Structure formats: structure tokens, C-alpha cells
Amino acid sequence: MLNLPKISKQHLIIFTRYPEPGKTKTRLIPALGTEGAANIQRQMTEHTLLQVSKLQNTANISVEIRFAGGNSQLMQNWLGSGILYQSQSEGDLGQRMARSLFCAFEAGAQQVVIIGTDCPSINPEILANAFEQLHAVDLVLGPAADGGYYLIGLCRFIPELFTGIDWGTGLVWQQTVEIAQFMNLSSVYLPTLTDIDRPEDLHIWKS
């Protein structure tokens, strides 16, 4: 029987992709090539996990990685044990995030935060603040400068937040906020940060 890491009341889900050349960070390939784009993906995932490990030094937070590409063994060989690895499976981004949240709450989590690995400015303080805010509000959102969000946190499963969204566009943040307002959800917004998705964003990572 597999000895899987236990889910804590505060649970962090990281969405990432196995860094296979040609299949990751494809919008950066014109600037970096397939190997360079995959290398950026690897570095940003490792950087994000470093920030999360600092948070775990001061808080009882379990960590789950939802991955695309590769498999659980490849992910564990890359990033180590002590982390719950699950495939993102099928569907659009909203369906995949909703599925991960549903599973986490079903497993006993009381506060769940989802982040990606594209935002190098994310740090333990931002993550700790997100979990702290969830003691008092329904929804925590971290807006990204491109119109999406780099973080979403919930204290219960609210599937409506993940339907009817134009994923991958600059409308994601506004559409999510509008749904939250329509549902009368109490919300807190974190500082706006920049994702690294396009060649013009690379200077942020280099700095």
C-alpha cells in the first residue's frame, strides 16, 4: 500500500508541467528554443517549491503537485518525496482546478490555495497571508498583470468560479470577480504580480 503524504487542514496545490522540451512554455520557444523553454519551466517550478518549503518551516501546510506531462515517478525523481503528486487529467484549466479543489476538500482540507509556477515574485509571506485571510473570507485572489490570476484560495468548494471563464485570456480575473460578486462571496485581493508567459516577460525572471 502506498504511503501517501497526509492532507492538512491548510493545503497548497501547485499546478505545473513536466519540463519536456517542445511541450512546455511553448510561447517562449521562439526566444529560447525548446530546451531553453523547458529549462525555464524547470527552474521556475523549483523556485516556487523553494518558496513553499520556506512557508512549511513556519506553518503546517501540506503540498500537492498537479502535473501535466510526465508521470508520478518522473515528478518524484525530479522534485522529491513528501509531496502528493496527481495528474491534472482532462478538461480545461477550470475543470482541472475544480477537480483538484473538490478532491482536497473531500480529503479533509479546510483551506485550499492553488498557485502556478509562472510567478517568480510569489513568496512565503504572500502564501501565508492567503491562508490567513481564508479564516475570514470565502475567496482570496492574487491578480496577475496580464488579466489572469496567480493564486486562488477557498475555504469551501465553489465550482461556479471555474465555469464560463475564458481561460488563457486577459478576461479571467474580471470574469472571476464578477461571478464572486454575483454570488455575494466575501473576497480579499492580494498584490498584483507578473507572470512569465511571453518573451517580453523574460527580463523579470532574469532580474
Q: Rounded mean pLDDT of the chain?
A: 93
- Cα dihedral 12, 97, 2, 74, rounded to 10, equals -90
| pLDDT tens profile 64-118 | 999 999 999 999 999 998 899 999 989 999 999 999 999 999 999 999 999 999 9
Classify residue 207: in a domain, yes or no: no
User: What pTM was estimated for this model as a whole?
Assistant: 0.94
Asked whether residue 192 carries a pLDDT value surpassing 70, the answer given is yes
For residue 198, what pLDDT is reported?
Answer: 81
The secondary structure of residue 144, as a DSSP letter, is B
Instruction: Provide the pLDDT for residue 2.
Output: 45
| 4 within some domain | no
What pLDDT score does 5 carry? 66
**Total of domains in the chain:** 1
Query: Residue 43 pLDDT > 70, yes or no?
Result: yes
Q: Is residue 25 part of a domain?
A: yes
3 lies in some domain = no
CB-based contact 103:89 (threshold 8 Å): no
Q: Which domain holds residue 17?
A: 10-202
Give me the pLDDT at residue 1, please: 35
On whether residue 60 sits in a domain, the answer given is yes
How far is CA 181 from each of CA 24, 33, 147, 186, rounded to the nearest angstrom? 34, 42, 17, 8
Residues 138-162 have pLDDT tens digits of 999 999 999 999 999 999 999 999 9
**Position 5 in a domain:** no
Give bridge partners of residue 89 from the DSSP assignment: none
At 81 the pLDDT is 86
CA 143 to centroid of chain Cα atoms = 12
Mean pLDDT confidence for 180-196:
95
Domain presence at residue 171: yes
- pLDDT of 23 > 70? The answer is yes
CATH of the domain at 188: 3.90.550.10
Sorting pLDDT into bands at 50, 70 and 90, what band is 44? very high
Domain contains 2? no
